[in-house]
Chains A and B, each alone.
Chain A
Amino acid sequence: MSNSSSGNVGIVIVSHSSKIAEGAADMVRQMVGSAVPLAWTGGDTDGGLGTNVAGILEAIETAWSPAGVAILVDLGGAETNSEMAVEMLAEDRRGRVVVCNAPVVEGAVIAATESSGGSSLAAVKRSAEEFYA
Protein backbone atom coordinates (compact mmCIF):
# COMPACT_ATOMS: atom_id res chain seq x y z
CA MET A 1 0.00 0.00 0.00
CA SER A 2 3.00 2.30 0.19
CA ASN A 3 6.43 2.47 -1.28
CA SER A 4 8.03 5.66 -0.11
CA SER A 5 9.67 6.94 3.02
CA SER A 6 10.47 10.45 1.86
CA GLY A 7 10.18 13.48 4.11
CA ASN A 8 7.12 14.70 2.23
CA VAL A 9 3.68 14.83 3.83
CA GLY A 10 2.01 11.41 3.71
CA ILE A 11 -1.40 10.91 2.13
CA VAL A 12 -4.03 8.50 3.42
CA ILE A 13 -7.14 7.72 1.39
CA VAL A 14 -10.20 6.47 3.29
CA SER A 15 -13.27 5.35 1.40
CA HIS A 16 -16.25 3.17 2.26
CA SER A 17 -15.23 1.15 -0.79
CA SER A 18 -11.82 -0.48 -0.94
CA LYS A 19 -12.03 -0.31 -4.73
CA ILE A 20 -12.48 3.47 -4.65
CA ALA A 21 -9.66 3.87 -2.12
CA GLU A 22 -7.32 1.69 -4.13
CA GLY A 23 -8.30 3.33 -7.42
CA ALA A 24 -7.77 6.82 -6.02
CA ALA A 25 -4.36 5.68 -4.75
CA ASP A 26 -3.52 4.40 -8.25
CA MET A 27 -4.35 7.83 -9.66
CA VAL A 28 -2.16 9.52 -7.06
CA ARG A 29 0.73 7.21 -7.87
CA GLN A 30 0.36 8.00 -11.56
CA MET A 31 0.61 11.72 -10.75
CA VAL A 32 3.40 11.78 -8.20
CA GLY A 33 5.16 8.44 -8.51
CA SER A 34 6.77 7.41 -5.27
CA ALA A 35 7.64 10.92 -4.08
CA VAL A 36 4.92 10.84 -1.44
CA PRO A 37 4.19 8.26 1.27
CA LEU A 38 0.76 6.91 0.42
CA ALA A 39 -1.68 4.42 1.91
CA TRP A 40 -5.33 3.59 1.42
CA THR A 41 -8.00 1.77 3.36
CA GLY A 42 -11.61 0.95 2.64
CA GLY A 43 -14.37 -1.32 3.84
CA ASP A 44 -15.51 -2.51 7.23
CA THR A 45 -13.79 -5.23 9.24
CA ASP A 46 -15.81 -7.90 7.40
CA GLY A 47 -14.82 -6.60 3.98
CA GLY A 48 -18.19 -4.97 3.27
CA LEU A 49 -18.73 -1.31 2.45
CA GLY A 50 -17.74 0.90 5.37
CA THR A 51 -14.71 2.21 7.17
CA ASN A 52 -12.93 1.03 10.28
CA VAL A 53 -10.64 2.67 12.79
CA ALA A 54 -8.11 -0.15 12.85
CA GLY A 55 -7.64 0.04 9.09
CA ILE A 56 -7.24 3.81 9.25
CA LEU A 57 -4.66 3.57 12.04
CA GLU A 58 -2.73 1.05 9.98
CA ALA A 59 -2.84 3.30 6.92
CA ILE A 60 -1.60 6.29 8.94
CA GLU A 61 1.27 4.15 10.17
CA THR A 62 2.08 3.04 6.61
CA ALA A 63 2.04 6.58 5.21
CA TRP A 64 3.71 8.12 8.27
CA SER A 65 6.08 10.99 7.62
CA PRO A 66 7.79 13.37 10.03
CA ALA A 67 6.11 16.12 7.98
CA GLY A 68 2.72 14.71 8.90
CA VAL A 69 -0.15 12.93 7.21
CA ALA A 70 -3.18 14.32 5.37
CA ILE A 71 -6.27 12.10 5.29
CA LEU A 72 -8.82 12.29 2.48
CA VAL A 73 -12.24 10.79 3.21
CA ASP A 74 -15.45 10.17 1.31
CA LEU A 75 -18.65 10.13 3.40
CA GLY A 76 -19.54 10.88 7.04
CA GLY A 77 -18.52 7.60 8.65
CA ALA A 78 -15.12 7.80 7.00
CA GLU A 79 -14.64 11.23 8.52
CA THR A 80 -15.88 10.24 11.98
CA ASN A 81 -13.75 7.10 12.01
CA SER A 82 -10.72 9.04 10.78
CA GLU A 83 -11.11 11.64 13.52
CA MET A 84 -11.42 8.83 16.06
CA ALA A 85 -8.25 7.22 14.71
CA VAL A 86 -6.34 10.51 14.93
CA GLU A 87 -7.36 10.87 18.57
CA MET A 88 -6.09 7.38 19.30
CA LEU A 89 -2.60 8.16 17.98
CA ALA A 90 0.30 8.75 20.33
CA GLU A 91 0.33 12.35 21.54
CA ASP A 92 3.43 13.34 19.58
CA ARG A 93 1.76 12.25 16.33
CA ARG A 94 -1.77 13.44 16.94
CA GLY A 95 -1.04 17.06 16.04
CA ARG A 96 0.60 16.07 12.78
CA VAL A 97 -2.36 14.30 11.18
CA VAL A 98 -5.25 16.22 9.62
CA VAL A 99 -8.52 15.22 7.97
CA CYS A 100 -9.10 17.31 4.83
CA ASN A 101 -12.52 18.62 3.89
CA ALA A 102 -12.21 17.82 0.19
CA PRO A 103 -13.55 15.32 -2.35
CA VAL A 104 -11.67 12.08 -1.89
CA VAL A 105 -10.33 11.48 -5.40
CA GLU A 106 -9.59 15.04 -6.49
CA GLY A 107 -8.47 15.99 -3.01
CA ALA A 108 -6.02 13.09 -2.83
CA VAL A 109 -4.47 13.94 -6.19
CA ILE A 110 -4.16 17.66 -5.36
CA ALA A 111 -2.85 16.98 -1.86
CA ALA A 112 -0.26 14.52 -3.13
CA THR A 113 0.85 16.89 -5.88
CA GLU A 114 1.29 19.67 -3.32
CA SER A 115 3.13 17.31 -0.98
CA SER A 116 5.47 16.11 -3.72
CA GLY A 117 6.86 19.65 -3.94
CA GLY A 118 7.86 19.55 -0.30
CA SER A 119 4.98 21.68 1.02
CA SER A 120 3.98 21.74 4.68
CA LEU A 121 1.03 19.79 6.07
CA ALA A 122 -0.97 23.03 6.34
CA ALA A 123 -0.27 23.86 2.69
CA VAL A 124 -1.21 20.36 1.56
CA LYS A 125 -4.51 20.55 3.45
CA ARG A 126 -5.22 24.05 2.11
CA SER A 127 -4.60 23.01 -1.49
CA ALA A 128 -6.94 20.04 -1.24
CA GLU A 129 -9.65 22.09 0.42
CA GLU A 130 -9.37 25.14 -1.82
CA PHE A 131 -9.45 23.29 -5.11
CA TYR A 132 -13.24 23.38 -5.31
CA ALA A 133 -13.83 26.19 -2.86
Chain B
Amino acid sequence: MSLDQAAREKLVRALAASMIEHAEELTSLDQAIGDGDHGLNMKRGFEAVLATLPGLADKSLPEMLKSIGMTLVMKVGGASGPLVGTFFMELGKALPEAPARADLVAATDQAINAVKARGRSEAGQKTLLDVLVPVQGVLAGGGDARAIAAEAAQAADRTTPMLATRGRASFLGERSIGHMDPGSRSASLLISAAVAALEFEAIS
Protein backbone atom coordinates (compact mmCIF):
# COMPACT_ATOMS: atom_id res chain seq x y z
CA MET B 1 0.00 0.00 0.00
CA SER B 2 1.49 3.28 -1.05
CA LEU B 3 -0.50 6.39 -0.22
CA ASP B 4 0.14 9.47 -2.30
CA GLN B 5 -0.34 12.97 -0.96
CA ALA B 6 -4.02 13.08 -1.95
CA ALA B 7 -4.71 9.72 -0.31
CA ARG B 8 -2.95 10.78 2.88
CA GLU B 9 -5.01 13.97 3.02
CA LYS B 10 -8.18 11.97 2.35
CA LEU B 11 -7.32 9.68 5.26
CA VAL B 12 -6.72 12.58 7.65
CA ARG B 13 -9.95 14.30 6.62
CA ALA B 14 -11.93 11.08 7.02
CA LEU B 15 -10.56 10.46 10.52
CA ALA B 16 -11.28 14.03 11.57
CA ALA B 17 -14.76 14.02 10.05
CA SER B 18 -15.68 10.87 11.96
CA MET B 19 -14.80 12.50 15.27
CA ILE B 20 -16.32 15.88 14.48
CA GLU B 21 -19.59 14.38 13.19
CA HIS B 22 -19.95 12.07 16.18
CA ALA B 23 -18.81 14.49 18.87
CA GLU B 24 -22.25 14.82 20.44
CA GLU B 25 -22.84 11.10 20.44
CA LEU B 26 -19.46 10.46 22.10
CA THR B 27 -20.09 13.14 24.67
CA SER B 28 -23.47 11.71 25.53
CA LEU B 29 -21.95 8.22 25.96
CA ASP B 30 -19.32 9.78 28.21
CA GLN B 31 -21.95 11.65 30.22
CA ALA B 32 -23.45 8.29 31.14
CA ILE B 33 -20.33 6.72 32.63
CA GLY B 34 -17.47 9.23 32.43
CA ASP B 35 -16.92 12.94 32.74
CA GLY B 36 -18.81 13.94 29.63
CA ASP B 37 -16.02 15.46 27.61
CA HIS B 38 -14.90 12.69 25.27
CA GLY B 39 -16.64 13.98 22.15
CA LEU B 40 -15.51 17.52 22.72
CA ASN B 41 -11.96 16.40 23.45
CA MET B 42 -11.64 14.22 20.35
CA LYS B 43 -13.23 16.94 18.21
CA ARG B 44 -10.77 19.51 19.55
CA GLY B 45 -7.86 17.18 18.86
CA PHE B 46 -8.84 16.37 15.30
CA GLU B 47 -9.67 19.99 14.52
CA ALA B 48 -6.11 20.75 15.57
CA VAL B 49 -4.93 17.95 13.26
CA LEU B 50 -6.96 19.42 10.37
CA ALA B 51 -5.33 22.78 11.01
CA THR B 52 -1.94 21.22 10.19
CA LEU B 53 -3.11 20.36 6.65
CA PRO B 54 -2.04 20.61 3.88
CA GLY B 55 1.52 20.43 5.20
CA LEU B 56 0.64 17.36 7.25
CA ALA B 57 -0.14 15.33 4.12
CA ASP B 58 3.14 16.37 2.50
CA LYS B 59 4.93 14.24 5.07
CA SER B 60 5.59 10.55 4.49
CA LEU B 61 2.99 8.19 5.96
CA PRO B 62 5.09 7.33 9.06
CA GLU B 63 5.94 10.98 9.72
CA MET B 64 2.35 12.03 9.17
CA LEU B 65 1.11 9.46 11.70
CA LYS B 66 3.68 10.58 14.26
CA SER B 67 2.64 14.18 13.74
CA ILE B 68 -1.06 13.32 14.16
CA GLY B 69 -0.21 11.47 17.36
CA MET B 70 1.75 14.37 18.77
CA THR B 71 -1.04 16.84 17.96
CA LEU B 72 -3.58 14.58 19.69
CA VAL B 73 -1.33 14.20 22.74
CA MET B 74 -1.00 17.96 23.05
CA LYS B 75 -4.55 19.00 22.19
CA VAL B 76 -7.09 16.37 23.21
CA GLY B 77 -6.77 16.67 26.97
CA GLY B 78 -8.14 13.91 29.14
CA ALA B 79 -6.64 10.44 29.15
CA SER B 80 -7.71 9.92 25.53
CA GLY B 81 -5.05 12.32 24.27
CA PRO B 82 -2.06 10.28 25.42
CA LEU B 83 -3.81 6.97 24.67
CA VAL B 84 -5.00 7.67 21.12
CA GLY B 85 -1.98 9.89 20.45
CA THR B 86 0.39 7.13 21.53
CA PHE B 87 -1.38 4.72 19.17
CA PHE B 88 -0.76 7.01 16.18
CA MET B 89 2.79 7.85 17.21
CA GLU B 90 3.74 4.18 17.59
CA LEU B 91 2.09 3.28 14.27
CA GLY B 92 4.22 5.98 12.69
CA LYS B 93 7.35 4.63 14.32
CA ALA B 94 6.65 1.06 13.23
CA LEU B 95 5.32 1.44 9.68
CA PRO B 96 7.46 1.69 6.55
CA GLU B 97 6.48 4.28 3.93
CA ALA B 98 4.68 1.73 1.78
CA PRO B 99 3.41 -0.92 4.18
CA ALA B 100 2.20 -4.37 3.21
CA ARG B 101 -0.44 -6.10 5.30
CA ALA B 102 2.22 -7.86 7.35
CA ASP B 103 3.69 -4.47 8.24
CA LEU B 104 0.26 -3.21 9.32
CA VAL B 105 -0.25 -6.31 11.45
CA ALA B 106 3.10 -5.86 13.18
CA ALA B 107 2.74 -2.10 13.59
CA THR B 108 -0.75 -2.25 15.05
CA ASP B 109 0.45 -4.91 17.49
CA GLN B 110 3.28 -2.65 18.58
CA ALA B 111 0.97 0.36 18.87
CA ILE B 112 -1.55 -1.61 20.94
CA ASN B 113 1.19 -2.71 23.31
CA ALA B 114 2.20 0.93 23.73
CA VAL B 115 -1.41 1.88 24.55
CA LYS B 116 -1.54 -0.95 27.10
CA ALA B 117 1.63 0.33 28.72
CA ARG B 118 0.45 3.95 28.67
CA GLY B 119 -2.86 3.07 30.30
CA ARG B 120 -1.51 0.18 32.38
CA SER B 121 -4.48 -1.71 31.02
CA GLU B 122 -5.44 -4.86 29.15
CA ALA B 123 -8.43 -5.82 27.04
CA GLY B 124 -11.46 -6.71 29.18
CA GLN B 125 -11.49 -3.54 31.27
CA LYS B 126 -14.01 -1.63 29.12
CA THR B 127 -11.56 0.64 27.33
CA LEU B 128 -10.53 1.32 23.74
CA LEU B 129 -8.37 -1.81 23.98
CA ASP B 130 -11.57 -3.82 23.78
CA VAL B 131 -11.90 -2.58 20.21
CA LEU B 132 -8.24 -2.33 19.21
CA VAL B 133 -7.29 -5.86 20.28
CA PRO B 134 -10.05 -7.83 18.51
CA VAL B 135 -9.85 -5.66 15.38
CA GLN B 136 -6.11 -6.27 15.24
CA GLY B 137 -6.93 -9.97 15.48
CA VAL B 138 -9.16 -9.74 12.40
CA LEU B 139 -6.46 -7.79 10.56
CA ALA B 140 -3.85 -10.40 11.49
CA GLY B 141 -6.22 -13.18 10.42
CA GLY B 142 -6.51 -11.76 6.91
CA GLY B 143 -9.94 -10.13 7.25
CA ASP B 144 -11.04 -7.72 4.53
CA ALA B 145 -12.24 -4.13 4.99
CA ARG B 146 -15.80 -5.23 5.61
CA ALA B 147 -14.73 -7.73 8.28
CA ILE B 148 -12.51 -5.16 9.99
CA ALA B 149 -15.21 -2.48 10.09
CA ALA B 150 -17.81 -5.02 11.23
CA GLU B 151 -15.57 -6.25 14.04
CA ALA B 152 -14.86 -2.66 15.14
CA ALA B 153 -18.58 -1.92 15.45
CA GLN B 154 -19.36 -5.22 17.14
CA ALA B 155 -16.44 -4.92 19.55
CA ALA B 156 -17.67 -1.47 20.63
CA ASP B 157 -21.15 -2.94 21.14
CA ARG B 158 -19.67 -5.73 23.24
CA THR B 159 -18.37 -3.18 25.75
CA THR B 160 -21.97 -2.31 26.74
CA PRO B 161 -22.48 -5.20 29.20
CA MET B 162 -18.90 -5.00 30.49
CA LEU B 163 -17.89 -3.88 33.98
CA ALA B 164 -15.37 -1.01 33.78
CA THR B 165 -12.24 -1.65 35.84
CA ARG B 166 -10.03 1.04 34.33
CA GLY B 167 -10.69 4.68 33.52
CA ARG B 168 -13.21 7.09 34.96
CA ALA B 169 -16.11 4.65 34.44
CA SER B 170 -14.51 2.26 36.93
CA PHE B 171 -15.52 4.71 39.68
CA LEU B 172 -19.12 3.72 38.96
CA GLY B 173 -18.53 0.03 39.58
CA GLU B 174 -21.53 -1.99 38.49
CA ARG B 175 -23.34 1.11 37.28
CA SER B 176 -20.90 1.13 34.35
CA ILE B 177 -22.69 -1.98 33.05
CA GLY B 178 -25.23 -1.29 30.33
CA HIS B 179 -23.47 1.64 28.67
CA MET B 180 -21.13 1.49 25.69
CA ASP B 181 -17.59 2.61 26.46
CA PRO B 182 -17.06 6.01 24.76
CA GLY B 183 -13.39 5.31 24.03
CA SER B 184 -14.33 2.05 22.35
CA ARG B 185 -16.91 3.86 20.26
CA SER B 186 -14.44 6.51 19.11
CA ALA B 187 -11.83 3.85 18.30
CA SER B 188 -14.44 1.96 16.30
CA LEU B 189 -15.42 5.12 14.39
CA LEU B 190 -11.78 5.94 13.60
CA ILE B 191 -11.11 2.40 12.36
CA SER B 192 -14.21 2.42 10.15
CA ALA B 193 -13.28 5.82 8.74
CA ALA B 194 -9.73 4.67 8.05
CA VAL B 195 -10.64 1.46 6.22
CA ALA B 196 -13.23 3.30 4.14
CA ALA B 197 -10.80 6.07 3.20
CA LEU B 198 -7.94 3.70 2.48
CA GLU B 199 -9.87 1.55 0.00
CA PHE B 200 -8.46 -1.19 2.10
CA GLU B 201 -9.05 -3.97 -0.43
CA ALA B 202 -6.08 -2.66 -2.36
CA ILE B 203 -3.81 -3.80 0.43
CA SER B 204 -2.35 -7.17 -0.32
Contact = CB atoms under 8 A, between A and B. Distances in A.
Interface of A: 16, 44-46, 48-54, 75-77, 79-81, 83-84
B118 A51 contact: no
What is the interface of chain B mostly: helix, strand, loop, or mixed?
helix
B37 interface: yes
A52 B77 contact: yes
B73 A84 contact: yes
Contacts, number: 60
Contact of A76 (B37, B77, B79): B79
B75 A81 contact: no
Contacts of A76: 79, 167-168
Interface residues of B, number: 21
A49 B118 CA distance: 22
A84 B82 contact: yes
B111 interface: no
Contacts of A79: 79
Nearest to A46: B44
Given A50-B37, A50-B41, A77 B75 contact: no
A77 B77 contact: yes
B102 to A, nearest CB: 29
Nearest to B45: A45
Contacts of A49: 35, 37
Given A45-B74, A84-B118, 8 more contacts: A16-B35, A51-B78, A75-B168, A77-B77, A80-B79, A80-B118, A81-B77, A84-B82
> Could you say which of A16, A76, A77, A81 has the most chain B C-beta atoms within 10 Å of its C-beta?
A77
A5 to B, nearest CB: 27
B81 interface: yes
B137 interface: no
B180 interface: no
B82 A44 contact: no
A83 B82 CA distance: 9
A54 B73 CA distance: 9
